Amino acid sequence: MEGYVDVVVLGTGLTESITASALSKAGYKVAHIDFNPYYGADEASLSLDELIHWVDERSSLESEDANSYLESQKSQFISISRSASKLPQSRQYSLSLAPSLIPSVGPIISSLVSSGVARYGGYRLLERVGVYDISGTIKAVPGSKEDVFKNKDISLVDKRRLMRFLMFAAGEFEDKKEIDGQENTPFLDFLKISFSLNEEIAAVIAYSLAYCVSASDTTLPALLRIRKYLHSAGRYGASSFLVGHYGGSGEIAQGFCRTAAVAGGIYVLGRRVTAITGPVPQPISEDESTKLSSYSVELEDFPEKLSCNLIISSQDHVLPHLLPTAKHIPPSTPSSGMQPYSFIARCIAIIDRPISFSQQSSALETEGIEDSASSLDEPPLQQNIDTAVLVFPPSSLPGGSATTAVHVLITGEACMATPNGKWTVYLSMPLLEHSSSPESILKPYLKAALSLTTPSSADSSTEPLFATYYIQRLRCSPTPSHPFPSRASDPSSTVLITPPPSTLLPESSDSATINAEAVFRAAIHTLRYVHSTAGSANFDDGETESFWPAIEADPADEADEW
């Protein structure tokens, strides 16, 4: 049948893009559609002009092209403001709507390699992690066991306690006596009680190694994150993390879309879905003996309709009339152990001076316990850093939050994200409620970070060249105790809604990948059910054993991809 595909995927976020790629490589016909003229959806990497258009479109009270997608976006991204000035070289910026770190071991790395998408992108090691101290300085985080023992600010007794904890966290701790009955204890209390760590050491471990955001974050999820990050150290270098080129998640999503297109996927960007009707029986064989219940999808400025058996969509892209019968795929990542935050305050700022990590290192975290990651592998402390994370623990900034940490990601020219001499600073802070403007919340942290920059000239300003602030309303995900009303256990549910990824800086890419595999398997299950009920003789209902099919080795790719 002309215009027929197995699946229509709406939205090119990382979860949807990985799903589309996996389905295409598994032999299904996929059409992938996005209202936006770029890949990545809410995780897109945008030029500066594109970011300004994104801000203006979502902050305007009226829109010439009102539709359900834009209305959903305006309810998700609120209290948006930006600098009035525009900068030259707009296309040399790749600014991420969802900045992230990539653990060197984990689901996203496995999918990048197994799918072949790794060859389409570039990655840089995270060079430094620092903790902001109430004294107004950065305490650089040691990068190895050797650095911990060379640190003169930690007593020998505390070093032994710290290393005992790191050995515990890197191992199979689930059945150890230290954690028995303590799984839901606040992680900071667990560190102080079970390992006799002092307040300062415990805080640095919690906020800079486990990436907790408050003192109430629980123990087991924090330990699981730490173990993953410790095991990531040394795989590609001293750091546990990689930073994707060209903005990270959006560029990676585009790589998966490229792989799907190579496998036969159809891509339509910048076009609105005007109508979806059905499902109605449609013949798929010449004698019309086999009929599948198909949706008819109409696109703006497209004369031909698409017919499909299954629709996969992000929450923003799905048309409202499909929601009552849709199946919402629950997130597959374990509980973060954090409070149920409803919002996240974000800032994207461009600066023309590097943030210096030249202060004496006295932070107490380590990203690895193996001697293979020598401190000689890292840039010297006085060197300006191109990729770094700066953590503001609660109460570390006068006038800042006393309960919630702020995480800052810094990227520069070496990440292909900015022109020469420019850096992007991303700030994020989870919120339980939206009661203040994002600028009033985050500007003190941005000013504190800018106070640590290295002056480029005598008249350099401490203000960013450009900044935008906004609140992101976090999408509700179904849980076992609070499921969305849907036919969740019914394989005949032919509309699948993808879950949102984690908003934790080092978890978002991995969680999107895990979610994508869950959506992929639900899609396979539904497609097999639909074809079996239609009596399709040519349909292969064999078992899909792996997320990604084996790829043939290319001699040209035998060199290290990273």
Q: How far apart are CA 230 and CA 223, in angstroms?
A: 10
In the prediction, which pLDDT does 137 show? 86
pLDDT at res. 381: 44
Confidence tier at 334 by pLDDT (50, 70, 90): low
CATH for 95-244+336-472?
3.30.519.10
pTM tops 0.85: yes
Q: What percent of the chain has pLDDT over 90?
A: 65
Q: How far apart are CA 257 and CA 264, in angstroms?
A: 11
Is 60 exceeded by the pLDDT of residue 479? no
| DSSP H/E element including 343 | strand 343-351
State the sign of the Cα–Cα–Cα–Cα dihedral 451, 454, 459, 464. negative
Q: CATH 3.50.50.60 occupies which residues in the chain?
A: 7-79+247-334+497-555
Read off φ and ψ for residue 70, nearest 5 degrees.
-65, -35
Residues of the chain with CATH 3.30.519.10: 95-244+336-472
Q: What pLDDT, on the 0 to 100 scale, is given for residue 5?
A: 93
Residue 79 near residue 435, CB atoms below 8 Å: no
Distance of CA 294 to the CA centre of its chain: 33
Output the CA–CA distances (angstroms, integers) from residue 402 to 210, 212, 246, 273, 345, in the order listed.
Answer: 19, 14, 34, 45, 16
Least confident of 237-251, 369-383, 435-449: 369-383
pLDDT band at 487, cuts 50/70/90? very low
Question: What would the mean pLDDT of 138-160 be, rounded to a whole number?
Answer: 76
Strands 241-244 and 30-34: unpaired
Q: Which of 527, 530, 532 is nearest to 28 (CA)?
A: 527
Q: Which tens digits make up the pLDDT trace of 264-296?
A: 999 999 999 999 998 776 665 555 545 566 899
By the 8 A CB rule, do 173 and 397 touch?
no
The pLDDT of residue 379 is: 45
pLDDT for 531 beyond 90: no
pLDDT attached to residue 539 = 53
The pLDDT of 485-502, averaged and rounded, is 76
Residue 52, pLDDT > 80, answer yes
Section 37-53 average pLDDT: 97
pLDDT of residue 142 exceeding 80, the answer is: no
Q: Work out the end-to-end distance of the chain between its first and last CA atoms, rounded to an integer number of angstroms.
A: 43
pLDDT for 493: 83
The residue among 268 and 333 whose pLDDT is bigger is 268
pLDDT band at 461 (very low <50, low <70, confident <90, very high): low
pLDDT (0 to 100) of residue 481: 41
Determine contact, residues 514/333, Cβ cutoff 8 Å: yes
With CA atoms as reference, report the closest residue to 100 among 488, 352, 409.
409
| Phi, psi angle pair for 112, to nearest 5° | -60, -45
Residue type, 52: I
Rounded Cα distance, 50 and 119, in Å? 26
Band (314; pLDDT cuts 50, 70, 90): very high
Can you say whether the dihedral through the CA atoms of 109, 112, 118, 121 is positive or negative? negative
Q: What is the mean pLDDT of residues 478-497?
A: 60
d(CA 6, CA 31): 8
Q: pLDDT (tens digit, 9 = 90+) per residue, 385-402?
A: 889 999 999 999 998 999
Grade residue 559 by pLDDT with cuts at 50, 70 and 90. Answer: very low
Spatial CB neighbours of 299, under 8 Å, sequence gap ≥ 6 = 33, 268, 271, 272, 273, 274, 306
Residues composing the chain = 562
**Res 237: pLDDT:** 87
Residue 560's pLDDT band, with cuts at 50, 70 and 90, is very low
pLDDT of residue 478: 47
- What angle separates helix 156-170 from helix 219-232, to the nearest 10 degrees? 90
- Spell 208-221 as b/e; 16+ CB within 10 A means b: bbbbbbbbebbbbb
7-79+247-334+497-555 homologous superfamily: FAD/NAD(P)-binding domain (3.50.50.60)
